[in-house]
Amino acid sequence: MNLHLSPQDATETTPAPPAGTALFKSRHPETIALHGGSYRFDPTSGAVAVPIYQSTSFQLPGTEGADKLFALEAPGHLYTRVSNPTQDAFEQRLAEIEGGAAALALSSGQAASAFAVLNLARAGDNIVSSVGIYGGTWALFAATLKNFGIETRFVDPTDPEAFARATDDKTRAYYAESLPNPKLEVFPIAEVASIGRRFGIPLIVDNTAAPLIIRPFEHGAAIVVYSTTKYIGGHGTSIGGAIIESGTFPFASYPKRLPTLHDPDPSYQGATWLEKAEKIGFFAYILRARAVLLRDLGAAISPQNAFQFLQGLETLPLRLAQHNRNAEIVADYLKGHPKVSNVIFPKFQIGEAKANAEKYLKPGNFGALVGFELKDGREAGRRFIDALQLFYHVANIGDARSLAIHPSTTTHSQLSAEDQLATGVTPGYVRLSIGLEHPDDIVADLEQAIEAA
């Protein structure tokens, strides 16, 4: 595996500029998206784009070098289940654009959420999670992790102190989404992160819906999770995920609270992950996630998909700006429509939700998800979906194309009417993920479909 002291450090195995050539460093996402990390060009061919290293395994140095690699004492790649140069270049660039220290790319967003928690919690432990999370994450926490012996205590994100009240000696992490749908109310990151720091509990934030426009690390989050399937890939072609460590959470200060990082690991000759990380100048959380969970559970990203996400990252700042502009045009249009009873969009929120939107969203950006309710309810929602010509009817977000779904009869159809309402899904609710088409065309399709509803 490749170990980086920080995303800025070149290593022996990631192609780096000739000795003595400094890497240009920027604090601007537009530049980091293209140049972040230590990859500059391929040393054998001079290729500027990161090559797809489609190889399962890598030639080991002599036996002494191999010993060091296996003991995680030297940088280098062994086997693509655990690390790969294309994956490494993507991880470095993603960590840097997020303002984090180190990242681990995975095969899906689901794998990323699971790894983020399993890296801290074991059977008998618990986590506290916001109720405002994606349905797949909910199922993972409420059913699958429960079967592993890890309990999830769900709390209302509008009451940050609920996280403190649900905490006990076995609580290992807090979990939330920065901009959860359907309600699209921004999570109070700083408030919950500071409660976590009182107890030594890291806050994990799924920032899938708001890359670049919400900056969880700047507000105290310890870990960021992405489904890179969405805006980071950006073109609806590839499933992937990632976890990123801020590099600032004081994991070392909480030996009782964080046993996975402090207790000797029998699968690594009784070393603790904090000691191991300190010895090689790396970050314990990501080191363990790769060396233990990825080794054992194997949710590796393919080199081909890591390449696709590098391509996506290059235009992420540009695309996000256009997604956001188009979404605001759509929300403004819907707001005045006589057949629409409600538009769910951060721009139109009031009270605490408005305060959080103003505090956490990059000014003038509200994300690219728009919810709205048709006055005529469930049947109108179905008719609207069937009449769409430009929008795709899919259970996804963050594609370059505009997407729509009627949650009450699809993603949330297994929930009772009461539970649907509790999650914010009314019978006429429609969720839009606004794409990159010309806004006039997006609005024209909505207009004719609402007319038909």
Site residues (vs ligand PLP, CB under 6 A): 108-110, 113, 134, 136-137, 177, 206, 208-209, 227, 229, 239, 241, 397
CA dihedral 396, 401, 406, 411 (to 10 degrees): -10
Q: Which is nearer to ligand PLP, 167 or 229 (CB)?
A: 229
DSSP 79: B
Q: How far is the CB of 415 from ligand PLP (least distance, A)?
A: 17
Counting Cα atoms < 13 Å in the Cβ hemisphere of 326 gives 27
Q: How far is the CB of 341 from ligand PLP (least distance, A)?
A: 25
Is the separation of the CB atoms in 128 and 163 below 8 Å? yes
- DSSP labels, 374-441: ETTHHHHHHHHHHH-SSSEE-S----SS-EEE-GGGTTTTTS-HHHHHHHT--TTEEEEE--SS-HHH
Q: Which is nearer to ligand PLP, 136 or 236 (CB)?
A: 136
Q: How far is the CB of 137 from ligand PLP (least distance, A)?
A: 6
Is the separation of the CB atoms in 205 and 217 below 8 Å? no
Q: How far is the CB of 208 from ligand PLP (least distance, A)?
A: 4
Distance CA 174, CA 128 (A): 5
Q: How far is the CB of 358 from ligand PLP (least distance, A)?
A: 22
Both structure tokens of 173: 């992490």
Q: Which is nearer to ligand PLP, 89 or 111 (CB)?
A: 111
Q: Which is nearer to ligand PLP, 306 or 450 (CB)?
A: 306
Is the separation of the CB atoms in 400 and 323 below 8 Å? no
Is the separation of the CB atoms in 179 and 214 below 8 Å? yes
Burial class (CB in 10 A: 0-12, 13-18, 19+), 100: buried
Q: How far is the CB of 420 from ligand PLP (least distance, A)?
A: 18
Which residue in 2, 82, 65, 81 sits closest to 39, CA to CA? 2
Q: How far is the CB of 229 from ligand PLP (least distance, A)?
A: 4
Q: How far is the CB of 173 from ligand PLP (least distance, A)?
A: 16
Q: Which is nearer to ligand PLP, 87 or 108 (CB)?
A: 108
Q: Which is nearer to ligand PLP, 75 or 109 (CB)?
A: 109
Distance CA 414, CA 427 (A): 13
Q: How far is the CB of 207 from ligand PLP (least distance, A)?
A: 9
Q: Which residue is nearest to ligand PLP (CB)?
A: 109
Q: Which is nearer to ligand PLP, 300 or 397 (CB)?
A: 397
Distance CA 157, CA 185 (A): 9
Termini Cα distance of the chain: 54
Q: Which is nearer to ligand PLP, 227 or 324 (CB)?
A: 227
Q: Report the number of secondary-structure helices (H) and strands (E) in the chain.
A: 17, 12
Q: Which is nearer to ligand PLP, 39 or 115 (CB)?
A: 115
Please name the residues in contact with 316: beta carbons below 8 A apart, sequence gap of 6 or more: 29, 33, 97, 211, 212, 231, 232, 234
Q: How far is the CB of 294 from ligand PLP (least distance, A)?
A: 16
Sheet holding 102-106, edge to edge: 102-106, 241-245, 223-227, 203-206, 171-177, 126-130, 151-155
Q: Which is nearer to ligand PLP, 107 or 349 (CB)?
A: 107
